[in-house]
Amino acid sequence: MPSEVMSMQEPDNPVIPGPGLLSTGRYIHFGPFRIDQQRQEVTRNGARLKLQGKVYQTLLTLLEKPGEVVTREELRARLWPADTHVNYDANVNTTVNKLRMALGDSSDKPLYVETIPRKGYSLLVQPEISNRVGNTYSAQNVSSRKEAEKAAAGAGMFKLSKSDLWVVLSAIALILTGMLLGAAIMRLWMNHASSLPTHPLVFLVSRMLEKVFL
């Protein structure tokens, strides 16, 4: 009896997909996407994506073999019955392009679906399968991460590079040197002025120097 109860519990650890393993869990997670296999629903950060039947089946086919090449022949067999008379090459291209558009991906700089010339396609990410809804790429977490990045960028604006630091220190050193030099000149002037006969101009200059440096 205990073993039967354990078998009904949801697994704590996600399952890495592979051939036939998509049926081991209800939810598939990769990047900001979550697939509910029971409802055949794909969401991105909680927002539902509209995927046509063949586009959805193409995504599942790629998810079964992450990192491996899914040939064009495999997609043909998966999407169209053998007795269907269509332009397979053109339809495969169109279906994959629709999938890329739905995922916000591109063939030039692929993030999820890579084209393997003269062979087929490959999924670039490693999805996870579980029976839990939780997704580490929820909209709330994405928003918090963006706010943290903005805060870090703002803090970086106040950091000085080594060259800027040397400029600031040099300017401070020049100011201090000027103040010390001025004080020395003032002392020499005061000593010299004390030996001169009392004159209004000498007295006025001495008072001005005292106000500046003392």
pLDDT score recorded for residue 95: 94
**Residue spans per domain, the chain:** 2-134, 162-213
In the chain, which ranges are E strands?
27-30, 33-36, 41-44, 47-49, 69-71, 113-116, 120-123, 128-130
- Structure confidence by residue, pLDDT tens digits, 87-135: 888 999 999 999 999 999 999 999 999 999 999 999 999 999 888 776 4
Regions of the chain with pLDDT less than 70 = 1-23, 134-162, 189-190, 192-214
Of all helices (H) and strands (E), which one includes residue 204? helix 200-213
- Is the CB of residue 35 less than 8 Å from the CB of residue 133? no
Q: What is the pLDDT of residue 87?
A: 84
pLDDT tens digits along 156-170: 555 556 677 888 888
Single pTM value for the model: 0.53
What are the respective helix, strand and coil percentages of the chain, to the nearest 5? 50, 15, 35
Which class does domain 2-134 fall in? mainly alpha
